[in-house]
Amino acid sequence: MKRLSLCFFILLIASGFCFAGTRYTELTLPTEMQNKEIEDVHVIDSSNIWIVGDGGTVARSTDGQNFTYVDLGFSDAANWRLYSVRFVNDKVGFIVGKYQTTLSRIFKTTDGGTTWSVARTLVSGDIRNVRVRDSNTIFVTNKNYAVGRPGLYKSTDGGANWEGVSSITTGCRKMRWANTSVGWVVGDSGYISKTSDGGSNWSTQTLSDTSGDVQGLTTRGRYRSWVTNYGGGKASLQTTSDGGTTWTAVNTSTSANVEYNGVRLKDNTTGQLWGKNTSAVASISDISDAGSTVTEAWSSSVASSRINDGDFSDDENGWFVGGASSSGILLKRVVDPAITAIVQRERPSQSSVPVGFSGDILIKGGIFLKNPTVSIAGTGITVNETVWENPTQIRLNVTVASSAATGSREVTVQNWDVGIVTSEALTISALPTITSLGQTVLERGYTATLATNPVTVEGTGFGTGFTRDLISFGDGITVLRVLRVSETKLHVALHVASDAATGLKTVSVTNPDGGVAAKSNAVEVVVNTGGPTFSDVGFDGRIYQATWNSEDNRFILTRKPTLLATVEDTAGIDITLFKLFIIPVGTAISADTTYIDIPVSSWVTQETASAGGTTITTKGYISYKFQEDIPAGLSRIILYGQNISKSPSLYTAFIKVPSATAVARALRRRVIFGYRNGRYWRNGDGDLPFMVENDGGTEIPITITTYNIAMEPITITRTLKVGRNKLLFPAARLRRFANGNKLMVIKSGTRVIDTGIMSVFN
């Protein structure tokens, strides 16, 4: 077979521009077809393709690349010129052609092309084209019209019986369906006719240029069609966007050598046009600007050759056939594939694989043809298997050595038609490591939260996208939540079951991409000894002393309170882990809640004990002077601590800071309470004394309501004289309260005139 040359790429460089990634490559025809002109190609998909041509020749491909000759099984097949082939499904197909000048036949297969039989013979006919409307309705065109031999035949029973469409009284060449209702048929002398009811009725339309025979036809929807015709010394490309009511010639060649044999639309403005060029040789051109621009993309060097037909498996991949009397042409339009992502098959959100990985990865993209060649740059990664799954996905089974270099890798996919793409969409990642844990002893029943006491895991290479199932602390320990603080730190919320087996446990971290780190004997589960207990929690002296700054127009605390609390735990107290939360009443602690680390300098040890040869602190007190600004209004203070076994305890108290609107009276009217003989009031001391100043000039009745932590009220009534009033809160009423700070509200009628905090210790 003669080699076809002058490829698309060279032509475009010569013309000064380039459509990157698109070119044409010649495929090898079966020996029986190499010196025959090929008339038609039918692309079922990118793998299954049929072609027919002169001499009764037929070939098929099951991979889109290699074609095998198919013998129709007729002794006189060499005398046939086969024009068209179409399949209804994977079993049923039709081929039409002409025997010399005496008759035409419709051939049919019901076994996928293995055997063929004659479905209809048309004496003196010239059947050129077969088109399938649905599985039962098939049409063929007849170029050699005569009375009693119309230009169109149809079958409504899958090709068993055929009848002529009597309204088509012109020889027809091509037919196309836009859908099962709308279709067009074209033929000699500028003829075109349309049906809108599935082929029952036809109406003739008028082209803008009726010179020559209409050779090509394509449709894009029920309203938009393009046709090609040539003859009379010119060729034209014509379009309609209104269903054929009007047609417009968008491109015309006045060269007698040019043939426009066919056209295909990718969208409403671009596509391909084929036939002969001005040098009278086979040519394929790209259409742009809705047909006004036609740029030659490929041409042959074989004299008098032409491209007869083209068909596509998708928007980009197409096959073209043609030739001359002694030379066949079979071309593949080559478009480089695209890689959009490379992910793990079992972890589709992960585009990286860790060292030591063995499994499947998926290359996602487009224009992947069967039997691609895939390679990955660099050493340490082996491709064990390549499986083409569909035009948008290739599956690779790979093994990554534990010594493989980390970082991005180039992945190259090359289709059999030499379309190629390279991408750095794959990353090899290092395994994570665990270097230490912030907490190595966990008691049964212990709960760690992200907000108050997370277990810290430190190491390297922690990826993003962690979920709780990716971290394990062993049997009996449930991971509740995990927060990736950084590449080197994780915070873990967990719960240790009350019956968890005691002893050492292995902690493992699995990165979202599958890389695993494990640290044996990382934590120990021990019997619960309970957390530390808090008592005598309160504030020294007045809660606040305030001045009004008129320049800044704000209330300033000039003396911030000191928090006092006694802490005890016979198992030993970890004095480094005390925290203080200040949050508005009614607000819960969350992972975003900020806290104060109470410094060790605020701790005073009172009692110690000996345990295992070491001295442990069993009792002491905290005296922490606030350095932080406390929000105006009523706040909840939560004191948090742990014993040396990491068992936590919480204690809740209240503190109130006046708002700016209360400043006008805050400096003149104060509630002072909680003292007796220079110390806090306790049960057994008698009634609780407190002082309230009345600067209103007259006596007023008041109600005094005190709330416990559950906001349950206890109310007494009193009368305030003018000036300072020393009042007593009945001790019997106070004994209903648990230890801690209690909110006090003083009202005159319904008007709140002051609030305060009192401390109760039982």
Cα 91 versus chain centre, distance: 39
DSSP 404: P
Task: Tell me the one-letter amino acid at 401.
Answer: A
* Mean pLDDT to the nearest integer, 264-286: 94
Mean pLDDT of the chain: 84
Q: What is the pLDDT of residue 625?
A: 84
Q: What is the pLDDT of residue 672?
A: 40
pLDDT band at residue 675 using 50, 70 and 90 as cut-offs: very low
* Mean pLDDT to the nearest integer, 521-545: 75
The HSE-up count of residue 8 (CA atoms within 13 Å, CB side) is 22
User: Of residues 147 and 696, which shows the higher confidence score?
Assistant: 147
Any residues with CB less than 8 A from the CB of 101 and at least 6 apart, and which?
none
User: Of residues 425 and 669, which shows the higher confidence score?
Assistant: 425
Any residues with CB less than 8 A from the CB of 351 and at least 6 apart, and which?
341, 342, 343, 425, 426, 427
* Mean pLDDT to the nearest integer, 469-484: 95
Percentage of the chain exceeding pLDDT 70: 84
Q: What is the pLDDT of residue 76?
A: 83
User: What is the distance between the alpha carbons of residues 524 and 519, in angstroms, rounded to a whole number?
Assistant: 12
User: What is the distance between the alpha carbons of residues 216 and 235, in angstroms, rounded to a whole number?
Assistant: 11
Contact call for residues 311 and 64 (beta carbons, < 8 A)? no
**Top mean-pLDDT range of 219-223, 368-372, 400-404, 463-467:** 400-404
User: What is the distance between the alpha carbons of residues 671 and 663, in angstroms, rounded to a whole number?
Assistant: 14
* Burial per residue of 551-561, b for 16 or more beta-carbon CB atoms within 10 angstroms, e otherwise: eeeebebeebb
pLDDT at 685 over 80: no
Contact call for residues 481 and 493 (beta carbons, < 8 A)? yes
* Mean pLDDT to the nearest integer, 90-119: 92
Retrieve residue 599's tokens.
């410094």
Q: What is the pLDDT of residue 181?
A: 94
654 to 91, 539, 639, 671, 696: CA distances (angstroms): 83, 10, 11, 16, 29
User: Of residues 682 and 51, which shows the higher confidence score?
Assistant: 51
Q: What is the pLDDT of residue 442?
A: 84
Lowest mean pLDDT among 555-559, 582-586, 598-602: 555-559
Residue whose C-alpha is closest to residue 682's, from 736, 743, 566, 762: 762
Percentage of the chain exceeding pLDDT 90: 56
Q: What is the pLDDT of residue 716?
A: 83
pLDDT at 246 over 60: yes
User: Of residues 650 and 436, which shows the higher confidence score?
Assistant: 436
Q: What is the pLDDT of residue 544?
A: 47
Q: What is the pLDDT of residue 754?
A: 67
Question: Pseudo-torsion of CA 399, 402, 405, 408, nearest 10°?
Answer: 40
Task: Tell me the one-letter amino acid at 740.
Answer: G
Give tens-digit pLDDT for 153-208.
999 999 999 999 999 999 999 999 999 999 999 999 999 999 999 999 999 999 99
* Mean pLDDT to the nearest integer, 362-377: 94
User: What is the distance between the alpha carbons of residues 708 and 724, in angstroms, rounded to a whole number?
Assistant: 26
* Mean pLDDT to the nearest integer, 626-631: 74
Q: What is the pLDDT of residue 377?
A: 96
Q: What is the pLDDT of residue 743?
A: 65
Sheet architecture: strand order including 293-299: 259-265, 271-276, 282-288, 293-299
pLDDT at 629 over 80: no
* Mean pLDDT to the nearest integer, 716-731: 78
Retrieve residue 101's tokens.
């000048």
Query: What's the pTM value of the predicted model, to 2 decimals?
Result: 0.65
pLDDT band at residue 77 using 50, 70 and 90 as cut-offs: confident
User: What is the distance between the alpha carbons of residues 276 and 55, in angstroms, rounded to a whole number?
Assistant: 22
Lowest mean pLDDT among 87-91, 345-349, 550-554, 574-578: 550-554
pLDDT at 439 over 50: yes
* Mean pLDDT to the nearest integer, 314-337: 94
Q: What is the pLDDT of residue 581?
A: 83
Phi first, then psi: what are they for 47, rounded to 5°?
-110, -40
Q: What is the pLDDT of residue 641?
A: 87
* Mean pLDDT to the nearest integer, 438-461: 87
User: Of residues 586 and 380, which shows the higher confidence score?
Assistant: 380
pLDDT at 6 over 90: no
User: Of residues 310 and 681, which shows the higher confidence score?
Assistant: 310
* Mean pLDDT to the nearest integer, 464-487: 94
Q: What is the pLDDT of residue 717?
A: 86
pLDDT at 762 over 60: no
Q: What is the pLDDT of residue 630?
A: 72
Q: What is the pLDDT of residue 665?
A: 42
User: Of residues 255 and 101, which shows the higher confidence score?
Assistant: 255
Q: What is the pLDDT of residue 650?
A: 79
User: What is the distance between the alpha carbons of residues 338 and 536, in angstroms, rounded to a whole number?
Assistant: 72
* Mean pLDDT to the nearest integer, 309-326: 94
**Top mean-pLDDT range of 4-13, 447-456, 546-555:** 447-456
**Top mean-pLDDT range of 96-110, 384-398, 445-459, 649-663:** 384-398
Q: What is the pLDDT of residue 555?
A: 45
- β-pair type (516-526, 441-443): parallel
Determine the Cα angle at 35 with ends 32 and 36, to 5°: 80
pLDDT band at residue 38 using 50, 70 and 90 as cut-offs: very high
Q: What is the pLDDT of residue 695?
A: 64
Retrieve residue 356's tokens.
């030591």
Q: What is the pLDDT of residue 673?
A: 41
Give tens-digit pLDDT for 414-426.
999 999 999 999 9
Contact call for residues 550 and 667 (beta carbons, < 8 A)? no
Any residues with CB less than 8 A from the CB of 514 and at least 6 apart, and which?
344, 346, 347, 350, 353, 354, 357
Q: What is the pLDDT of residue 2?
A: 35
User: What is the distance between the alpha carbons of residues 230 and 252, in angstroms, rounded to a whole number?
Assistant: 9
Determine the Cα angle at 340 with ends 337 and 342, to 5°: 105
Residue whose C-alpha is closest to residue 53's, from 87, 89, 98, 93: 98
User: Of residues 690 and 35, which shows the higher confidence score?
Assistant: 35
pLDDT band at residue 217 using 50, 70 and 90 as cut-offs: very high
Contact call for residues 56 and 97 (beta carbons, < 8 A)? yes
- 3-state SS class at 411: strand
Strands (E), 658-712: 671-673, 675-676, 679-680, 688-694, 700-707
**Top mean-pLDDT range of 193-197, 209-213, 543-547, 731-735:** 193-197
Q: What is the pLDDT of residue 548?
A: 47
Q: What is the pLDDT of residue 170?
A: 92
Q: What is the pLDDT of residue 698?
A: 74
User: What is the distance between the alpha carbons of residues 470 and 18, in angstroms, rounded to a whole number?
Assistant: 50
Cα 135 versus chain centre, distance: 38
pLDDT at 543 over 80: no
